[in-house]
Chains A and B, each alone.
Chain A
């Protein structure tokens, strides 16, 4: 991506400009997390879990099983939603319907897939959504038989419980061997029955070295810089309650980003109020644009958004001004996105083949350079990303390492009553109170 930017900034910008003002990563993260835990009325929710009037029955049992790294889940495969037979030919003249965020897939990856199966006259059609809430509603309505969807792991419980996803016939997906071994049996989907990984990312701190004189990454506690009054008016946090609210926990050296103790949650709110008083942070998801234009000097950042920020720099501006810090020992926030096959799709064989195509090393790297978010491919290592021009040397820290997933912290689903407590603190913060 940086080589495109440096050699031909105009072309790079031209394709960037067709994107929506919010990056699909941001949308994905925000809505995925919000979608799972957005209850704010404990009693009310409990009430509707037990009584469903008006014939609007939920698609599954009310109790959601929550997967965590310490409590891995093997999702059941039900008889009415079986694995497809192995060794079938692709659907002749099939139209593969992808349902994804805008610009979250490289058009060249789609074209090369169509070419590969040209003998079967295959077409790929991409539909986009703005947030996963909208996506889930439309998938449930089933008016368009989408074949594939790109969720985050904190939606998987609802997708399986609602029988919205199809279990994978793994014989179609030999390229799973290219993926980090840890994803061949992930805790959120043991035996990868329903999902394959798409991208991995970390959540750290980004800053501009021309506006921030300190080396943030070299500080004893980089998270605390977001509370430093000398950066007042220059900072931002990510507009997603769970992502932003883990900052006080990280600053305090916490390792559990899903605390349930009301006193601790109250303390998070107190810390957010202190942050508000000290630095008046923006609450936004367009930091990749704002830091490039100099409106922001220091911000909470997703690693993939920092890679994207390079292509938003004004022409002539060196990417050296951008910096990203994530704990080098991996003890920070790490997450990943998935590909799934939807149960109501018309081209299940093609969908399996498409997943395999996306896990191909060449396709995955091409896709990385387009979307900025790294695929969990074995072939990727930090020195290679920099020398191949995917990242400028000073942003090598945006590389996501497999080890991070052994020690990193996860944003998990929480029970409605705990979520309500978190959300109340977030609402207070967002209301400027």
Chain B
């Protein structure tokens, strides 16, 4: 009797845990897998010949890869009209991510380890930018950076020098700094979480065993914070890859177009919706590789510890 009851409760428990995953699975199915299928049905779908709107084809057996091939050949083929924008995106995102890390790591480090009783206040201040819409923050920069804006006025020290930097006239630097400004909060938070978890005792042990401040940082803090660094770089990189409004607002010039702009341009054009879908699929594939690598590396990490 007792034995039976025990088995029964274990059975109930083993059903309970998978059941807890149901909301997540439903969420994923409704908001990721299903939309992804719609995107694919449009990429490989048809068009209304009069109104040119996309007609999704739901049966994969009837899919037509013409739009996908068109985009693919224009990225990698001899007629690579999208090539420069793709390359530019990679360079912009790499530079912006490095700058983000350079800014975010010391801030997160200070907040996690040195801020003491100010930690809570600092954290709130770091989260504060989230309360204002990204669009509003970029619009504020447009005002600051315009030719007679505060930045140029500041640089000229109140008219002492004649500074006329055309910040908003298609400067790659402006776009990159815009990306850094926009996404740096997303990097600070995971870094903070990672750094905050590092036990003080490990550092004390390193110092006791003769490591200097720098050596202790490199061998203990930096090593232990690496998963957080990778996670935070990924969290900022991925939205940057699809970003188009930073560029639209701070430059609006083709000379700084990124992949996000290509998607935005095509998705708004009737007859090219399928191409926009093809870009989305390609960006997803490009983003998936580092993501898989991250999942793998953290799993190894877990297995080791």
Residues of chain A having any CB pair with chain B under 8 Å: 31, 34-36, 38-41, 43-45, 47-49, 51-54, 56, 58-60, 62, 64, 131, 133, 136-137, 140, 158, 161-162, 233-234, 276, 280-284, 293-295, 423-424, 427-433
* Bound-complex Cα distance A44 to B265 (A): 20
A40-B271, A54-B57 are known; give 17 further A-B pairs, CB within 8 A. A38-B271, A39-B52, A41-B271, A43-B66, A45-B49, A47-B64, A48-B48, A48-B49, A49-B49, A52-B49, A62-B50, A140-B51, A158-B50, A282-B252, A294-B146, A424-B81, A432-B253
Residues of A within 8 A of B168 (CB): 295
Shortest distance between the CB of A374 and any CB in chain B (Å)? 28
Name 15 interchain pairs, CB-CB below 8 A, sorted by A: A38-B271, A40-B271, A44-B66, A53-B46, A54-B55, A62-B50, A276-B255, A284-B252, A293-B146, A427-B82, A430-B254, A431-B84, A432-B85, A432-B254, A433-B83
> Is A133 touching B53 in the complex (CB atoms < 8 A)?
yes
Decide: A433 and B261 in contact? CB cutoff 8 A: no
A34 to B267, CA, bound (A): 11
B269: chain A residues at CB < 8 Å are 34, 38, 423
CB neighbours (8 Å) of A430 from chain B are: 254, 257, 261-262, 265
Q: Does the CB pair B48–A56 fall under 8 Å?
A: yes
B55 (CB) vs chain A CBs: closest residue? A56
Q: Whole-angstrom distance between the alpha carbons of A158 and B257 in the complex? A: 33
Residues of B within 8 A of A (CB): 46-53, 55-59, 62, 64, 66-67, 70, 74, 80-85, 88, 146-148, 166, 168-170, 251-257, 261-262, 265-266, 268-272, 275
- Residues of A within 8 Å of B257, CB to CB, are 430-432
Once the chains bind, are A53 and B84 in contact (CB under 8 Å)? no
Known: A39-B52, A52-B46, A427-B265. A281 touches B253 (CB 8 A): yes
Instruction: Establish whether residues B51 and A44, one from each chain, have CB atoms under 8 Å apart when the complex forms.
Output: no
Interchain CB contact under 8 A, A431 and B81: yes
In the complex, residue of chain A having the shortest beta-carbon distance to the beta carbon of B257? A432
**A283 near B252 (CB under 8 angstroms)?**
yes
What residues on B are CB-neighbors of A41 within 8 Å? 66-67, 70, 271
Are the C-beta atoms of B81 and A427 separated by less than 8 Å?
Answer: yes
B50 pairs with A162, CB closer than 8 A: yes
**Which residues of A sit under 8 angstroms from B70, Cβ to Cβ?**
40-41, 44
Set A48, A54, A136: member contacting B58, Cβ < 8 A? A54
Name which residue of chain A comes closest to B146, CB basis: A295
Do A280 and B84 have beta carbons less than 8 Å apart? no
From A43, A56, A280, A424, give the contact of B255 (CB < 8 A): A280
A233:B169 contact, CB within 8 angstroms? yes
Q: How far is the CA of A96 from the CA of B148 in the complex (A)?
A: 47
Across-interface contacts of B254 in A (CB, < 8 A): 276, 283, 429-432
- A residues within 8 A CB of B253? 280-283, 432
Q: Is the CB of B52 within 8 A of A38?
A: yes
Q: Are B82's CB and A431's CB within 8 A? A: yes
Closest CB of chain A to B100's CB: distance in Å?
23
Contacts of A161 in B (CB 8 A): 50
A45 → chain B closest CB, angstroms: 6
- Look across to chain A and name the residue whose beta carbon is closest to the beta carbon of B85: A431
Known A43-B66, A432-B254: A294·B148 in contact at CB below 8 Å = yes
Least Cβ–Cβ distance between A57 and chain B, in angstroms: 9
A432–B83 CB distance below 8 A: no
Given A137-B53, A233-B169, also A39-B271 (CB < 8 A): yes
Q: Given A40-B271, A294-B148, A432-B256, A53–B62 Cβ distance below 8 Å?
A: yes
Asked whether A44 and B272 contact (CB < 8 A) given A233-B166, A283-B252, the answer is no
Residue numbers in B under 8 Å from A137 (CB-CB): 51, 53
- From A233, which residue of chain B is reached at the shortest CB distance? B169
* Cα-based distance from A427 to B266 in the complex (angstroms): 9
Chain A residues within an 8 Å CB radius of B169: 233-234, 280, 282
**Which chain B residue lies CB-closest to A45?**
B47
- Most chain A beta-carbon contacts within 10 A, residue among B52, B62, B168, B275: B52
- Complex CA–CA separation, A185 to B292 (angstroms): 64
In the bound assembly, the distance between CA atoms of A52 and B46 in angstroms comes to: 8
Question: Given contacts A38-B270, A38-B272, A433-B81, is CB(A62)–CB(B49) below 8 Å?
Answer: yes
| Cα distance, A161 to B55, chains bound together (Å) | 19
- Which residues of B sit under 8 angstroms from A39, Cβ to Cβ? 47, 52, 271
In the bound complex, residues from chain B placing their C-beta under 8 Å from that of A56 are: 46, 48, 55
Contacts of B148 in A (CB 8 A): 294
Which residue of A has the minimal Cβ distance to B62?
A: A53
Q: B270, A35: Cβ atoms under 8 Å?
A: yes
Chain A hits for B51, CB < 8 A:
35, 58-59, 136-137, 140, 158, 162
Q: Given A56-B48, A280-B255, A427-B265, do A433 and B166 touch, yes or no (CB 8 Å)?
A: no
A64 touches B81 (CB 8 A): no
Set of chain A residues within 8 Å of B67, measured between Cβ atoms: 41, 44
Separation in Å of the B71 CB from the closest CB of chain A? 10
Chain B residues in 8 Å Cβ range of A431: 81-82, 84-85, 254, 257, 261-262
Kindly list chain A residues whose C-beta atoms are within 8 Å of the C-beta of B58: 54
Q: A41-B66, A133-B53 are in contact. Are A433 and B84 (CB under 8 A)?
A: yes
Chain A contacts of B146 at CB under 8 A? 293-295
Least CB distance, B49 to chain A, in whole angstroms = 4
Distance from A316 Cβ to chain B, minimum over Cβ atoms (Å): 14
Q: Within the complex, what minimum Cβ distance (angstroms) separates A240 from chain B?
A: 10
Q: In the complex, A131 Cα to B56 Cα: how many Å?
A: 21
Instruction: List 6 tightest A-B contacts by C-beta distance, closest first.
Output: A38-B271, A233-B169, A49-B49, A428-B81, A432-B254, A44-B66
B81/A131 in contact, CB under 8 A: no
Contact of A44 among B47, B255, B261 (CB under 8 A): B47
